[in-house]
């Protein structure tokens, strides 16, 4: 079963706009990661946020984590056509083995020119 | 480029056959995880190998098995293929001792079962 669930399932925005995707999970975690996947290829790691962190930035990406609500958000600012992809959150359950992570079902982001 | 490679890129098999997929880890990584990703879904954890031993398994039947070799490369074997096994199979390598779960994914093998 999926640990994380992304919302929305699909998002279409105009180039230059900001895109926000949300992720909810069920159990306590060590950390949460966001990945991008282009056209059914391999996943690219974007950012990792630990359970004791509330916000993290990387370039045009901003991730927040609210452990009390078991939720996270990924914000992509000033979107570009190249941002068109599927985005997944991935969590590891607290106490699980070091590298076992569980993915959500993803948000498909489309950037319109 | 993550340094993780997978072979083959594409594969077509028929129901009941057996298949072996291969993964070469990023240099220095001691952990390999395998995932199955059906069309339109997120990757599902199959199992993980750490220093040549299975270190966690997802909800997959025993006909899914694996190996990790001393050089940390890995194989995923699937016996008695079923139509529902058609998916993208991803491997990911990581360095468990670093205390981080960041995984580096290969490009995947797309398996079609007819």
Helix (H, G, I), strand (E, B) or coil at B83: helix
* Alpha-carbon span A20 to A59, nearest angstrom: 15
A87: closest CA among A41, A34, A45, A50? A34
Q: Would you report the helix, strand and coil content of chain A in percent, each value rounded to 5?
A: 5, 60, 40
pLDDT by 10-residue block (mean), chain A, 113 residues: 75 97 91 90 90 96 96 97 95 66 91 93
Contact B92 A43 (CB under 8 A): yes
* Alpha-carbon span B78 to A28, nearest angstrom: 32
Q: Which of residues 75-104 of B touch A (CB under 8 A)?
A: 88, 90, 92, 94, 96-97, 99-104
Q: How many CB atoms lie within 10 A of CB B60?
A: 16
pLDDT digits (tens, 9 = 90+) for B2-38: 689 999 999 999 999 999 999 999 888 888 999 999 9
Q: Report which secondary-structure segment, H or E, holds A55.
A: strand A55-58
Mean pLDDT of chain B: 91
Contact A45 B103 (CB under 8 A): yes
């Amino acid at each position: 079963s999926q640990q994380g669930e992304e919302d929305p399932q699909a998002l279409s925005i105009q180039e230059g706009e900001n895109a926000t995707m949300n992720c909810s999970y069920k159990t306590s975690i060590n950390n949460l990661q966001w990945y991008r996947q282009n056209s059914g290829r391999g996943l690219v790691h974007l950012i990792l946020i630990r359970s004791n962190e509330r916000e993290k930035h990387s370039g045009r990406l901003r991730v927040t984590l609210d452990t009390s609500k078991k939720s996270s958000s990924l914000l992509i600012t000033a979107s570009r056509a190249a941002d068109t992809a599927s985005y997944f959150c991935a969590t590891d359950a607290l106490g699980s083995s070091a590298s076992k992570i569980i993915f959500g079902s993803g948000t498909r982001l489309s950037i319109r020119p | 480029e993550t340094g993780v490679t997978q072979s083959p890129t594409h594969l077509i098999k028929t129901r009941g056959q057996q298949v072996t997929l291969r993964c070469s880890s990023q240099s220095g990584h001691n952990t390999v995880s395998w995932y199955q990703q059906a069309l339109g879904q997120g990757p599902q954890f199959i199992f993980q190998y750490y220093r040549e031993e299975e270190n966690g398994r997802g909800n997959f039947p025993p006909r899914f098995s694996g190996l990790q070799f001393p050089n940390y490369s890995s194989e995923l074997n699937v016996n008695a293929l079923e139509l529902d096994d058609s998916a993208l199979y991803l491997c990911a390598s990581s360095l468990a001792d670093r205390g981080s779960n960041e995984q580096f994914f290969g490009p995947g093998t797309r398996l079609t079962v007819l």
